[in-house]
Structure formats: C-alpha cells, structure tokens
Chain A
C-alpha cells in the first residue's frame, strides 16, 4: 500500500481490499514511527474497521482512518491534552466532531501529541516529550497540533484534526509541509474540545491536499446546540474546489512581512502571489496598521481565558490528585505537580492580567486592541477577496532552540494569531522549501468565506507540485 494516500485513494483501497486492511496498514506504519506523533494509538481501531466492513457502512468516510489531537474528547481513549494533570482521565462523552466522524464511518487511529493544553508553537511542552518534524528529526513540527501535522506528513494517517487558538493548526501545517485550515470562528462546534481560550479557538483539519480538507469540513462543520457560538453557514465545502482564480483580488498586507522574515520564506510567498497573477488574479498591497499590536493583545486574551478555563483542573473529579492537609493545599499541590512550566506561566500571567488593579491595564486594553485589529481585517477584506502572507516567518527551528525563552517562542505566532483575534478563516498550504524544510503560504478570507479560501488554495495546488513532496527521513 502506498505510504501517502489521499482520502480518495484510501477509499479505493478499501473498495479493493477492506477497511480492516487499510487500518492495519496505518497501524503498521505507526509502529515503525520515528517521530513520537501519537500519545495513544487506539487498540480498538482494527475492531472499528472490521465493524465498518461487516456493516457495509456507506458513510462518506466509511473505513477511512483519522488521527485526533489529544484535546478532543473520544470515548474509550484517554484524553491528556499533553499534560500530566489529566493522568488516567478518559472522557465520558464524544466531542461533537467525533460524533460526526463516527457517523460518517471514520476509524479513529489514535490521539496525537500536542503542546500542553495547546499552549505552544513547537509541541515541546508536551508531558509526553516532543514530536519530531518528519523533514528533519532534530527539528520541531510546530505546534500546538504538532502531532496531528507530523503524522499526516509522515504517512501515519491520511488526515487529522487539530485545534487552532493562535496558529496551532497552520503553524505545524507550514512546518511539516501539509495543508491546515483554521475555519471561521463558529464554523465547527467546540463541544468536547478541552478549552484553552474559547473566544479564539476552532477545531481545524490537516491533510496532504486541499480536497481532503474540504471532505473533512463537509463532515464536521455546522451548528450544534451544545456550542452556542456555532453557526450553520450551509457551506458545501467540496463544491468550492474549482480551479479558477480569474478576477480574484488578492491583498498583500506588508505588516505580515516583518523584519524577522526569512528571505526564502518571503521569496516563496511572493512566487506564489505571482503564480496567482499568472493564473488571472490581481494583487495589491494593503496596510493593516494595528497588526503589530495583535501579538500582545492575543497573548493577554489567551492567557486570561486560560487562567479561567484551566481552573477546572483541581484534582477533584478526574486526573491527578496530590495529598494536602486541606482543600486549598490539595488543589495547589495538584496543580504545581500536574501542570508544566509553560502552562503555569500562562495561568499566572492570565491571573495577573485579570486581577484587581490590572484588569483594565491588560485585559480590557487587549480587548480594545482586538477591536482595532478586527477593524483592520474588515477594512482590508472590503477591498480585496483574500489576503496572502507567510504562515510562519521562518522554517521549523531546532528542538530546544527556543523553549527556554517564552517571548522568543511567542513571537513566532506573529502572523497567525491576528487571524484568531478577528475570527476569520485561514489556510496554510505548502509553497516552497528552504534547505529542505517546507514553507507555508497563508490565505486569509472573510468570515464564512471558506469557499473563496479553499478555491484559491485548490487552484494553487493544481498548478504547483509542493504538496506532492515527501520527507525522505521517514520514507
């Protein structure tokens, strides 16, 4: 069986052989893994595949295996969020997206590695150790959905689900040379996804090609009454896959090409924009003056929301519990022992930003800046159809290179986190290489205009071959 298969190819294989054989193939590849992409491989995957065969399931994903980020609840599998504090926890309910996947016939291969509680851009803060980038095993896969991107790049799953709070799908997609979509805020129900910063995050698909992203969106998107921010946009994602960008108006925000941008990244992104021009699109520079404040605003909001969301991990109902002479001591010791350094830092900073005397200076200020950033997007996207920019200013860095200095690591989210503040959709697609490391092009659209984003991404893919390149390290 081919190591890297599209969903269509997987379905052909299932037709020729069986869901069981296809799942067995992936489990075999996972066994030989060099990247530590999975925290837990499902022991029920084969059984689930057999059941699909026996039932002659006719769902859109009947027998197609998928990998799931470990902050998305799946009944029967532990959910750790990459943290020690959830040791032994098994969710008693499925996330909405998992219900949808199971109904469509998908087979869950396992849970993928991630930065602890999705806090990071390198997957190094996981309690279960870092995941390696399939293109260079000494480098990070990006984060926080590093496992979900790396297993797709390494042929250990045809596609996967991640979550994106400030770039956590697009960053690892760019670093691992795969496609990753951060949908519009509200496009997918967050029910059953462990919250980090709920006004910013969305579940997002990762795959080896744009079509498979649309296939997955058609299954998982839509309204769910258990997430009151979810909306039924009635989008038919696969219908957006039309190879045509004639007349498309592209905006290039110069603020996304900051000083620290690697010259090869800048070159690859401009080559992509010129490719669109060759295909009949036009481009113009646009200015988004508040983008330089987006990173600080994003981190203050994310940390503040995190300090509140992560208060639930108190050793009472699930996971780790340390002994203490009273309630406060038990909770304080459990959290000291259970959370890693970065999670603690963010909880402490978020607590500080919300505390008496500092709320207005930090949290309220950040929310006001968020308004200005959102207005920048509204204004720019009123003149053009899409914005294009580098996903990440640099290619994947070395494991250990940035982990000691949190601020350096935060700065790598400079081009991805503004999108979450504005809630708009954004995809990262492979657009080149530098020293054998993939580069990602970020395509940003208007709220719920995933069709325009997917159409542009699909057209680029049909006219380039970057997405067909595979990492030799894991071949």
Chain B
C-alpha cells in the first residue's frame, strides 16, 4: 500500500505538482492498480532471466563521424524562451 507521503514523494521524483486533494485520489487509484500488479508475486521467477526487449539485436555500432544535423534556429523555433542560441530556463535552485 502506498501512503499520501509516498504519492507526494513520487510526484517530486516525477516532477509533477500534486495538490492536497489530488494526493488522496491518486493514492486510491494507484493502490487499486498496485493491488492488481501484486498477483505477479505468486509466480516463482528466481531462475528466469528478464526480457528487456525482444529484438534479437545486440550492440549496434556505427562509425563516429560528424554528420549534418538540424540548424540551430530550427531547433529553437518551438520556444519563445531562448537567448544567444540557447534555451533559457529559470535557475536550478
């Protein structure tokens, strides 16, 4: 079971502001889903290897060569918050 404090902590980890009222709602719905996930506990998997993906491809390499990329102004075109060819954001702390 996750608590209100857990929801607040996860919200911080995921960088999503959650209001007091939402915390309770999330706690209930998240617990209902986590309860369902709990059914996996009954399945013994000690000797089973995890599958991260099913593609039978390992370590795709390429030559380290410089190639043309998108022009700076195109990359910056989707925001108003920019300065001197960079994205502008508020200070960290």
Closest A-chain residue to B18, C-beta based? A336
A351 partner, pick from B10, B40, B89, B91, beta carbons under 8 A: B10
Contact A318-B78, Cβ < 8 Å, known A92-B70, A326-B92: yes
B85 on interface, CB distance cutoff 8 Å: no
Interface readout for B6-48 with A: 1 if CB under 8 Å, 0 if not? Answer: 1100111111111000000010011011101101110101001
A446 on interface, CB distance cutoff 8 Å: no
A92 to B16, CA, bound (A): 27
B56 to chain A, nearest CB (A): 9
B70 partner, pick from A93, A231, A319, A324, beta carbons under 8 A: A93
Contact of A297 with B53 in the complex, beta carbons under 8 Å: no
Residues of A within 8 A of B62 (CB): 225
A349 partner, pick from B30, B49, B52, B57, beta carbons under 8 A: B30
Contact of B16 with A347 in the complex, beta carbons under 8 Å: yes
Residues of A within 8 A of B15 (CB): 311, 314, 328, 331-332, 335
Interface readout for B69-93 with A: 1 if CB under 8 Å, 0 if not? Answer: 0100011011101000001011111
Residues of A within 8 A of B81 (CB): 316, 321
Closest B-chain residue to A351, C-beta based? B14
A173 to B13, CA, bound (A): 37
B54 on interface, CB distance cutoff 8 Å: yes
Contact of B77 with A228 in the complex, beta carbons under 8 Å: no
Interface readout for A353-395 with B: 1 if CB under 8 Å, 0 if not? Answer: 0010000001011111111101000000000000000000000
A229 to B75, CA, bound (A): 26
A335 partner, pick from B16, B41, B51, beta carbons under 8 A: B16
A321 to B89, CA, bound (A): 10
Chain A contact residues (Cβ within 8 angstroms of B): what range?
Answer: 35 or more
B40 to chain A, nearest CB (A): 5
Residues of A within 8 A of B57 (CB): 186, 228-229, 231
Question: Number of contacting residues on B, CB 8 A?
Answer: 49
Interface of A is mostly: helix
A330 on interface, CB distance cutoff 8 Å: yes
A121 to chain B, nearest CB (A): 15
B90 partner, pick from A93, A326, A407, A421, beta carbons under 8 A: A326
Contact A185-B53, Cβ < 8 Å, known A316-B89, A333-B17, A348-B7: yes
Residues of B within 8 A of A405 (CB): 32
Interface of B is mostly: loop
Contact A365-B16, Cβ < 8 Å, known A330-B89, A407-B32, A410-B33: no
A216-234: which have CB < 8 Å to B? 225, 228-229, 231
A325 to B92, CA, bound (A): 9
Residues of B within 8 A of A422 (CB): 54
Residues of B within 8 A of A400 (CB): none
A57 on interface, CB distance cutoff 8 Å: no
A296 on interface, CB distance cutoff 8 Å: yes
A199 partner, pick from B11, B52, B78, B91, beta carbons under 8 A: B52
Residues of A within 8 A of B54 (CB): 185, 199, 374, 421-423, 447
Contact A367-B52, Cβ < 8 Å, known A327-B92, A333-B17: yes
Contact of B50 with A364 in the complex, beta carbons under 8 Å: yes
B51 partner, pick from A92, A349, A374, beta carbons under 8 A: A374
Contact A92-B49, Cβ < 8 Å, known A332-B17, A406-B29: no
Known interface pairs A229-B57, A410-B36; 15 further A-B residue pairs with C-beta atoms within 8 A, sorted by A's residue number = A92-B78, A290-B43, A296-B36, A319-B78, A326-B93, A328-B93, A330-B90, A332-B16, A333-B17, A344-B16, A351-B13, A365-B45, A372-B43, A372-B48, A421-B51
Would you mind naming 19 contact pairs between A and B with Cβ atoms under 8 Å apart? A92-B77, A92-B78, A186-B55, A290-B43, A296-B40, A300-B40, A319-B78, A321-B81, A333-B17, A344-B26, A349-B33, A352-B30, A355-B13, A362-B37, A368-B49, A372-B43, A372-B48, A406-B29, A421-B51
The interface of chain A, by Cβ under 8 A from chain B, is 88-90, 92-93, 185-186, 199, 225, 228-229, 231, 290, 293, 296-297, 299-300, 307, 311, 314, 316-319, 321, 324-333, 335-336, 339, 344-345, 347-349, 351-352, 355, 362, 364-372, 374, 405-407, 410, 421-423, 447
